């Protein structure tokens, strides 16, 4: 079959795929795929590297095959062929990134607090966030009627803010001039409430948050222990919910794990749909880096992106920071190799990942459980302190690499056998208690990132 005919077939396949696969995924994984032949019922597609081949075979093959059969019924299978690359050594010099377009600068909308850079079409979808993404998209069609509220939780830097603001921006785009949206962090919400009470403008505050069609509140764990803020949010929630308005929350943990939050508010948080976002796998990390480089107007070799993704594994914020560090260090280079990248990442990681100390562990544990540090350190037997103290002991051993005796000495000279018992108890519970696992992962993230 002539190439022009194959190109038309592939265009039809991609068009059909657009109704089955998220646009960001199509853009990320299919932008360099091209058809090369159709022989004996096999459509052969040329892909740029082994990573894309693996991703298409594992994630999208059934969709591609189904769409191809709709175009030509005789197609029975899809074969992916990696473009041959010149044989090179591991430490080969590789083509550096080059600028291909101007960078677009986005400014936050003062009326909505939304940044237009956060959109659905540049949100990279992977196994770690596909349910959250699908849920966020689905509420656009029926605002306030489906998944209300939507509660998204996950660790630091995993894309929660991007997803929440993408919802807001999509609402403004779809219902231009009809729907009102307000995005706020919980810290902003708190500060606005304090200022309104101080200036005796509480009515203005209420109008600001209650006369909207979509209210998006980020990082609601910040409201822990703030009784007045919780009360105001509770009443605001009821007004909006009763009026059929959409409410979206985010947090670094699920509602049940947020301490010092009124039960009635926790009940509201969990009354709709709760979805989580977890750290991205390597394929998703590479896709994220590819989107980030495109946004920065850069053309970057795939092997460079793969090398960065192998080194930076925690979250998206780390990935972008590492990419920026490399760009800053290498922008005057004509060529770079993997050793150059490692040097740049070493500088970045040494700054970003702070040294783990016992003080940081105690501080992170006490903040997570809304306790004072001395409550963990001193010999208090209150029930609400026992579990956090056991978690602290476990993390001092696991992250801090401290001996049992040293941990006991730090925690008011407790006997080392008490420390051993506590650490082993936590280890046993981690096997069958996903909630505890989530708690400890969140605390670890806070410790490691300072």
Closest to 369 measured CA to CA, from 258, 207, 208, 203: 258
Distance (Å, whole) CA 5 – CA 250 = 48
Predicted confidence at residue 325, as pLDDT, reads 77
Mean pLDDT along residues 342-362 = 73
Predicted confidence at residue 275, as pLDDT, reads 95
Predicted confidence at residue 90, as pLDDT, reads 39
Tell me, which fold does domain 129-277 have in CATH? Answer: Rossmann fold (3.40.50)
- DSSP state letters, 376-394: HHS----HHHHHHHHHHHH
Tell me the CA distances in angstroms from 171 to 178, 185, 243, one per residue in order: 9, 19, 18
Instruction: Please write the tens of the pLDDT for every residue from 208-254.
Output: 999 999 999 999 999 999 999 999 999 999 999 999 999 999 999 99
Predicted confidence at residue 1, as pLDDT, reads 47
Mean pLDDT along residues 257-280 = 93
Please answer whether residues 219 and 248 qualify as being in contact, where contact means their C-beta atoms are separated by less than 8 angstroms: no
pLDDT exceeds cutoff 90 at 350: no
The more confident residue out of 307 and 104 is 307
Please answer whether residues 182 and 212 qualify as being in contact, where contact means their C-beta atoms are separated by less than 8 angstroms: yes
Q: Exposure pattern of 347-364 as b/e (b: 16+ CB <10 Å)? A: ebeeebeeebebebbbeb
pLDDT exceeds cutoff 50 at 86: no
Instruction: Please write the tens of the pLDDT for every residue from 158-194.
Output: 999 999 999 999 999 999 889 999 999 999 999 999 9
Q: How much of the chain exceeds pLDDT 90, in percent?
A: 44
pLDDT exceeds cutoff 60 at 142: yes
Task: Work out the mean pLDDT of the chain and round it to a whole number.
Answer: 85
Please answer whether residues 108 and 161 qualify as being in contact, where contact means their C-beta atoms are separated by less than 8 angstroms: no
Please answer whether residues 367 and 260 qualify as being in contact, where contact means their C-beta atoms are separated by less than 8 angstroms: no
Mean pLDDT along residues 377-400 = 89
Superfamily of domain 3-82: DnaA, N-terminal domain (3.30.300.180)
What is the layout of strands, in order, in the sheet containing 246-251? 181-185, 214-218, 246-251, 150-154, 273-277
The CATH class that applies to domain 358-448 reads mainly alpha
Distance (Å, whole) CA 265 – CA 189 = 16
Predicted confidence at residue 79, as pLDDT, reads 92
Tell the residue number behind the tokens 């606005």, with chain if given.
192
Domain ranges of the chain: 3-82, 129-277, 358-448
Distance (Å, whole) CA 415 – CA 409 = 8
């Amino acid at each position: 079959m002539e190439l022009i005919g194959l190109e038309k077939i592939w265009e039809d396949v991609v068009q059909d795929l657009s109704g089955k696969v998220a646009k960001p995924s199509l853009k990320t994984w299919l932008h360099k795929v091209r058809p090369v032949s159709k022989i004996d019922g096999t459509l052969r597609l040329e892909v740029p590297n082994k990573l894309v081949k693996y991703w298409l075979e594992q994630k999208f093959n059934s969709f591609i095959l189904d769409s191809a059969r709709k175009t030509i019924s005789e197609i029975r299978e899809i074969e992916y062929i990696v473009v041959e690359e010149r044989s090179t050594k591991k430490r080969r010099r590789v083509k550096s990134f080059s600028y291909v377009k101007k960078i677009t600068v986005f400014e936050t909308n003062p009326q909505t607090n939304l940044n237009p850079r956060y959109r659905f079409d540049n949100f990279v979808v992977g196994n770690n966030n596909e349910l959250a993404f699908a849920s966020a998209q689905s509420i656009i069609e029926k605002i306030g009627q489906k998944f209300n509220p939507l509660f998204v939780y996950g660790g630091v830097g995993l894309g929660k803010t991007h997803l929440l603001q993408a919802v807001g921006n999509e609402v403004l785009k779809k219902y231009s001039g009809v729907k009102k949206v307000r995005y706020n962090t919980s810290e902003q919400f708190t500060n606005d409430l304090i200022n309104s009470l101080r200036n005796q403008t509480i009515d203005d505050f209420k109008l600001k948050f209650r006369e909207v069609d979509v209210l998006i509140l980020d990082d609601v764990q910040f409201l822990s222990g703030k009784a007045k803020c919780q009360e105001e949010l509770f009443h605001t929630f009821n007004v909006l919910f009763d009026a059929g308005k959409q409410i979206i929350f985010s947090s670094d943990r699920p509602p049940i794990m947020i301490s010092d939050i009124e039960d009635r508010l926790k009940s509201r948080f969990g009354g709709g749909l709760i979805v989580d976002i977890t750290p991205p796998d390597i394929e998703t990390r590479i896709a994220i880096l590819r989107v980030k480089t495109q946004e920065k107007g850069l053309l970057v070799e795939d092997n460079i992106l793969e090398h960065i993704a192998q080194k930076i594994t925690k979250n998206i914020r780390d990935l972008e920071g590492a990419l920026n560090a490399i760009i800053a260090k290498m922008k005057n280079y004509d060529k770079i190799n993997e050793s150059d990248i490692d040097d740049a990442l070493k500088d970045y990681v040494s700054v970003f990942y702070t040294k783990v100390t016992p003080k940081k562990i105690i501080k992170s544990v006490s903040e997570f459980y809304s306790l004072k540090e001395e409550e963990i350190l001193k010999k208090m037997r209150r029930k609400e302190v026992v579990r956090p103290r056991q978690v602290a002991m476990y993390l001092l051993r696991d992250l801090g690499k401290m001996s049992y005796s040293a941990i006991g000495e730090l925690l008011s000279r407790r006997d080392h056998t008490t420390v051993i018992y506590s650490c082993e108890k936590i280890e046993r519970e981690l096997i069958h208690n996903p909630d505890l696992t989530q708690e400890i992962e969140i605390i670890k993230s806070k410790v490691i990132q300072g």
